[in-house]
Amino acid sequence: MSTGLYLFEKTTDLTHHLGKGMPIYPGDPSPSFENYSTIRKDGVNLTKIIMGSHTGTHLDAPRHFIQDGIGIDRIPPDKLIGEAYVADLSKKPIGSGITSKDLKPELEEKIVRDDIVVIYTGCSEHWGEASINRDYTYLTGDAADYLVSKSVRAVGIDFLSVEKFKAPEPVAHKILLANGIFIIESLSRALKQFVGERILMICMPIKLQDGDGAPSRVVAVPIRED
């Protein structure tokens, strides 16, 4: 835990906009946003929204892959506010798997128990390019095991998923979620400015009853060391 001060006046939004035509995990529901009511016709603006629970920047709850795992609404808010270390794994070729050997040099002696580990892969620089939606950098099961061994509270990544696209067995998700480690996916390219640094991360998902996941507003607060 840092002994520094949180610079809330310099808070950075790490959240993607939700909007028509936005990138989604291939096969997920395409989001739609309809002007259901307008001030001109109805005296009020109201939008009808249809989308999957893992659209845009979002949080995965254990229920996503664990049969008896808790849902989004049962995650205590204090678990989603904490200090994070942003690891730079952008040197890995896009589309390759991050292993424990990749993580150890980046994380050893830089994280402590109950930290949030955030992985910058560089894939967020290609947000909106359809070709990368099936060929992004991901975590291997070996990397997930290493993160469990470090007793982190959550893992974030700057693209659609921590899992290899259409992996036969979603090992990274299952290992992390089964151990109570929440997953924050699709962080924006704004994450890049914090690589190699500790930040305060705040992740607030929609309180969806029994939700397997939910869109979230995620922000980074710089820390000024004393």
Dump pLDDT digits (tens) for 33-47: 999 999 999 999 999
Q: What is the pLDDT of residue 133?
A: 97
Distant-in-sequence, close-in-space partners of 12: CB < 8 Å, separation ≥ 6: 190, 193, 194, 219, 220, 221, 222
> Going from the N-terminus, what domains does the chain have, and what CATH number goes with each?
5-15+52-224 (3.50.30.50)
Distance CA 128, CA 24 (A): 9
User: What pLDDT band is residue 3 in, cutting at 50, 70 and 90?
Assistant: low
**Helix spans in 75-178 (H):** 100-107, 141-149, 171-178
Mean pLDDT of the chain: 96
DSSP 99: -
Residues 166-188: tens digit of each pLDDT? 999 999 999 999 999 999 999 99
Q: Give the model's pLDDT for residue 4.
A: 78
* Confidence at residue 27, expressed as pLDDT on a 0 to 100 scale: 96
